């Protein structure tokens, strides 16, 4: 039988383990502070030695091998330690109705249905082995925790150790044989003698003296080390213009750039104390940008955009997260199987997996697999879709209901369409549209493979809705975007985007979002909702588009997305003010949520009429947007 997942990889965090943005930043900040303190123990030569390493390493790991930053969402707690996860509000999972005797394997799978199999009984020797592995993980975590302690704590620990040693010495003494002496200069050998009432006071005085000497020498060491630290900080200077030019011809190696990035961040984090008097914050930021573009391989445009979005330390977290592949995740096709059955089938093939988190009852994280996960018999039989965890979110927000009429306006290759169809239990109708016929081949194939029978696929420019068809209960617009949230999947985004691209995209997004809104029937008895999502983190493509929609369509309002994690959207950004309700939108980041960068906004349509001025309304329903000029009647006005 396959093994249970050993929680060795990052997984999207469950709701209650979300790492708040501020905390991430603080984490790095603390680390940088700690690195500075640690460097008391290292002279600058040692520091320079570090730069002799070549190759790109995570900035977090740069400061030294012993200092460390916990990757923001890095480790799931050990399976043994995790509490059973309560049922989520998702209603797509078929409850386990099986009764009677439960086999060992069933017992494991029963826990899967509980949202995790953390409490599954250990079944075999190999499980026991894994348990001890998990304990090893605890050990290493403890080590890490110690290495992250502020020096003051480590020092007090040392003191404690000294005390312990002293106590040990004392007790040893008390066990030894009897020598009586008042000589202040007794040898240690003498000390090893028995403690008597007569020499007790003398021994105590001597111990006090020793301790005082240790403390004095420790103080001295700290003073010296402090001077070294100050010296190191003074040593860091920005490169001159000549050096910058020279570096264009002969770039530094990555480890030197890495070191300089860290030094600049350290200075920026404590600018008043650590700056060079002749250099401005702008100078440091300029150099930082140059270095990060080089180190991470972004063009200047995108680097600027992303540095606008995050504080510097958090930007580093974001860039680092983009260097790491997100966990492979799959979504159970509940039209064909249950997650517990699917998990069991894959485990039987040797796949190492775990539930994604308590926020989804259909998702599984695949840690490793001896077989291609896109070619198992279960995959071929349509029991699951390989789908990024973030891509579940817009559908969860849309929450399509059975028997509804739902439009997925830009649907290919169909991850979200097929999830909608499954939530609707193959009832009602899903219109899966995409402007790209080529991409629709995959959409059609997925619809067939997953056994979906309530979906029609069509190939229009989304802007043609609602002329093509209107009156939907819900519309999903998973908009074409720049993909700045999925850089770990497509590194070309780092260099192939410009402001022109963003402008073109936002123009299209704005047109599409109005069409999406206009395609919904506000009077739907069960719906009247629109979800707008992108896999981009730029404000231009997210909040700015939603804000535009609110201004152009006063007949909609933002509502809670139902997603209980994710950072709230911006209500203002770099001098731009957005509607206060933008706080209801949700942002997801790779460094904070260990999933692709994503944005989700949910609207409720309040009326099918758009009041465009005091006395005119637009009614963009059905087969075309018609403008009806109406005399404003006080009684009937909205």
- Extract the annotated binding site for S-adenosyl-L-methionine: 410-416, 434, 461, 478
For ligand SAM, the closer CB: 348 or 436? 436
Q: Of 425, 439, 467, 611, which one interacts with ligand SAM (CB under 6 A)? A: 439
Does 336 contact ligand SAM by CB under 6 A? no
Residue 69 or residue 330: which is nearer to ligand SAM going by CB? 330
CB of 418 to ligand SAM, least distance (A): 8
**Residue range at the interface with ligand SAM (CB under 6 A); choices 3-11, 66-74, 174-182, 455-463:** 455-463
* 461, 489, 495, 622: residue in contact with ligand SAM (rule CB under 6 A): 461
Among 78, 410, 482, 484, binds ligand SAM (CB under 6 A): 410
Residues 6+ apart with CB under 8 A from 597: 390, 484, 485, 486, 487, 535, 536, 537, 587, 588, 589, 590
Per-position x/- string for 85-124, each x denoting binding to ligand SAM as judged by CB under 6 A, each - no binding? ----------------------------------------
Closest CA to 343 of 354, 327, 357, 329: 354
- For residue 293, indicate whether it is catalytic: no
Contact with ligand SAM (CB under 6 A): which of 348, 427, 436, 453?
A: 436
The three-state secondary structure class of 484 is coil
**What one-character-per-residue DSSP string does 426-479 give?**
T-SEEEEE-S-HHHHHHHHHHHHHTT--SEEEE---GGGTTTS---BSEEEEE-
Binding positions: 410-416, 434, 461, 478
Task: Point out which span in 44-52, 173-181, 334-342, 435-443 binds ligand SAM (CB under 6 A).
Answer: 435-443
Which is nearer to ligand SAM, 179 or 442 (by Cβ)?
442
Binding flag, residue 412, ligand SAM (CB under 6 A): yes
| Residues forming beta bridges with residue 364, ordered by sequence position | 330, 355
CA dist., res. 399 & res. 117, Å (int): 26
CB of 70 to ligand SAM, least distance (A): 32
Using CA atoms, how far apart are residues 386 and 490, in angstroms rounded to an integer?
17
* Closest CB 341 distance from ligand SAM, rounded Å: 25
Backbone angles phi, psi at 221, to 5 degrees: -60, -40
Smallest distance, ligand SAM to C-beta of residue 416, A: 4
Answer for the pair 594, 329: CB distance below 8 angstroms, yes or no.
no
Site size for ligand SAM (CB under 6 A):
18
Separation of alpha carbons 175 and 431, rounded Å = 87
The length of the chain in residues reads: 638
Burial class (CB in 10 A: 0-12, 13-18, 19+), 349: middle
Binding ligand SAM (rule: CB under 6 A), the pick from 413, 566, 569, 620 is: 413
Of residues 410 and 594, the one with the C-beta less far from ligand SAM? 410
For residue 337, the 8-state DSSP code is -
DSSP helix/strand/coil, 73: coil
- Binding piece for ligand SAM, criterion CB under 6 A, among 157-165, 249-257, 367-375, 407-415: 407-415
Number of Cβ within a 10 Å radius of residue 551: 10
Q: Which string of DSSP letters, residue by residue, matches 145-213?
A: HHHTS-HHHHHHHHHHHHHHHHHHHHHHHHHS-------TT--HHHHTS---HHHHHHHHHHHHHHHHH
Cα(485)–Cα(481) distance, integer angstroms: 10
If the CB atoms of residues 320 and 543 are measured against ligand SAM, the closer one turns out to be 543
How near is the Cβ of 417 to ligand SAM at its closest, in Å?
A: 7
Query: Interface with ligand SAM includes 462 (CB under 6 A)?
Result: yes
Binding mask 595-624 for ligand SAM (x = CB under 6 A): ------------------------------
Identified binder of ligand SAM from the candidate list 414, 527, 590, 620, rule CB under 6 A: 414
- The residue (of 264 and 409) whose beta carbon lies closer to ligand SAM is 409
Site string for ligand SAM, 351-390 (x = CB under 6 A): ----------------------------------------
CA dihedral 255, 260, 265, 266 (to 10 degrees): 100
Span interacting with ligand SAM, options 87-95, 132-140, 268-276, 457-465, rule CB under 6 A: 457-465
Rounded to a whole number of angstroms, the minimum distance from the CB of residue 231 to ligand SAM is 52
Cβ contact 557:603 at 8 Å: yes
Point out which span in 35-43, 377-385, 409-417, 543-551 binds ligand SAM (CB under 6 A): 409-417
Residue 154: how many other CB atoms lie within 10 Å = 16
The stretch near ligand SAM (CB under 6 A) out of 266-274, 410-418, 494-502, 577-585 is 410-418
User: DSSP for 223-288?
Assistant: HHHHHHHHHHHHH--PPPHHHHHHHHHSPPPHHHHHHHHHHHHHHHHTHHHHS-TT--HHHHHHHH
Q: Which is nearer to ligand SAM, 193 or 451 (CB)?
A: 451
Burial of 227 (0-12, 13-18, 19+ CB in 10 A): exposed
Footprint on residues 465-504 left by ligand SAM (CB under 6 A): 478, 480
Judged by CB under 6 A, which of 12, 355, 415, 566 binds ligand SAM? 415
Which lies closer to ligand SAM via its Cβ, residue 92 or residue 434?
Answer: 434
What 3-state class would DSSP assign to 39? helix
Nearer residue to ligand SAM within complex by CB, 115 or 363: 363
Name residue 100's beta-bridge partners: none
For ligand SAM, which is the closer residue by CB, 347 or 420?
Answer: 420
Q: Using the rule CB under 6 A, which residue among 411, 430, 505, 584 binds ligand SAM?
A: 411
Tell me the CB-side half-sphere exposure of residue 178, using CA atoms within 13 A: 3
Q: Is 434 in the site for ligand SAM (CB under 6 A)?
A: yes
Residue 542 engages ligand SAM in binding (rule: CB under 6 A) = no
The C-alpha angle with vertex 273 and arms to 269 and 275, in degrees rounded to 5, equals: 75
Residues acting as catalytic residues: 535
Binding positions for ligand SAM, rule: CB under 6 A: 391, 409-416, 434-436, 439, 461-463, 478, 480
């Amino acid at each position: 039988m396959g093994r249970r997942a050993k929680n060795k990889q990052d997984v999207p965090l469950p709701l209650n383990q979300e790492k708040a943005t501020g905390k991430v930043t603080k984490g790095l900040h603390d680390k940088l502070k700690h690195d500075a303190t640690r460097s008391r123990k290292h002279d600058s030569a040692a520091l320079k030695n570090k730069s002799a390493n070549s190759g790109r390493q995570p900035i977090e790991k740069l400061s030294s091998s012993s200092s460390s930053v916990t990757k923001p969402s890095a480790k799931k707690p050990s399976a043994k330690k995790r509490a059973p996860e309560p049922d989520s509000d998702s209603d797509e999972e078929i409850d386990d109705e099986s009764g009677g005797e439960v086999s060992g394997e069933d017992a494991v799978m029963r826990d899967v249905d509980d949202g995790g199999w953390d409490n599954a009984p250990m079944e075999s020797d190999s499980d026991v082995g894994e348990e001890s592995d998990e304990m090893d993980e605890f050990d290493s975590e403890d080590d890490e925790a110690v290495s992250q302690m502020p020096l003051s704590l480590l020092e007090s620990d040392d003191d404690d150790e000294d005390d312990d040693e002293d106590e040990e010495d004392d007790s040893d003494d008390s066990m030894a044989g009897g020598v009586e002496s008042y000589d202040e200069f007794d040898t240690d050998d003498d000390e090893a003698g028995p403690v008597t009432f007569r020499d007790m006071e003398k021994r105590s005085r001597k111990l006090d003296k020793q301790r005082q000497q240790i403390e004095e020498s420790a103080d001295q060491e700290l003073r010296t080390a402090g001077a070294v630290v100050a010296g190191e900080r003074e040593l860091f200077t920005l490169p001159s213009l000549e050096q910058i030019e020279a570096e264009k011809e002969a770039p530094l190696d990555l480890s030197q750039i890495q070191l300089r990035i860290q030094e600049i961040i350290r200075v920026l984090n404590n600018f008043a104390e650590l700056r060079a008097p002749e250099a401005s914050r702008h100078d440091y930021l300029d150099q930082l940008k140059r270095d990060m573009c080089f180190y991470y391989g972004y063009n200047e445009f995108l680097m600027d955009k992303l540095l606008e979005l995050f504080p510097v330390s958090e930007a580093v977290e974001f860039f680092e997260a983009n260097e790491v592949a997100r966990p492979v995740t799959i979504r159970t096709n509940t039209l064909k199987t249950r997650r517990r059955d699917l998990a069991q089938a894959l485990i039987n093939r040797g796949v190492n997996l775990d539930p994604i988190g308590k926020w989804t009852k259909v998702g599984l994280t695949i840690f490793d697999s001896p077989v291609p996960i896109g070619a198992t018999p279960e995959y071929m039989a349509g029991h699951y879709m390989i789908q990024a965890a973030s891509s579940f979110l817009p559908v969860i927000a849309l929450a399509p209901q059975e028997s509804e009429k739902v439009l997925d306006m830009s649907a290919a290759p169909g991850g979200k369409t097929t999830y909608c169809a499954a939530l609707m239990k193959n009832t009602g109708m899903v219109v899966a549209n995409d402007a790209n016929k080529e991409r629709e081949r995959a959409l059609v194939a997925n619809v067939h493979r997953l056994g979906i029978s309530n979906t029609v696929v069509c190939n229009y420019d989304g802007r043609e809705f609602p002329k093509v068809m209107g009156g939907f209960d819900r519309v999903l617009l998973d908009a074409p975007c720049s993909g700045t949230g999925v850089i770990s999947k497509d590194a070309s985004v780092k260099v192939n985007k410009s402001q022109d691209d963003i402008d073109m995209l936002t123009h299209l997004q704005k047109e599409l979002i109005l069409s999406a809104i206009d395609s919904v029937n506000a009077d739907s008895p069960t719906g009247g909702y629109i979800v707008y999502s992108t896999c981009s983190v730029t404000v231009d493509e997210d909040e700015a588009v939603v804000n535009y929609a609110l201004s152009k369509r006063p007949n909609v309002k933002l509502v809670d997305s139902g997603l209980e994690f994710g950072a709230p959207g911006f209500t203002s950004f770099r001098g731009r003010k957005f509607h206060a309700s933008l706080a209801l939108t949700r942002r997801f980041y790779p460094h904070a949520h260990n999933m692709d960068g994503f944005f989700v906004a949910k609207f409720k349509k309040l009326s099918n009429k758009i009041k465009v001025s005091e006395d005119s309304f637009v009614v963009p329903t059905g087969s075309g947007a018609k403008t009806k000029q109406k005399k404003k009647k006080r009684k009937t006005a909205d």
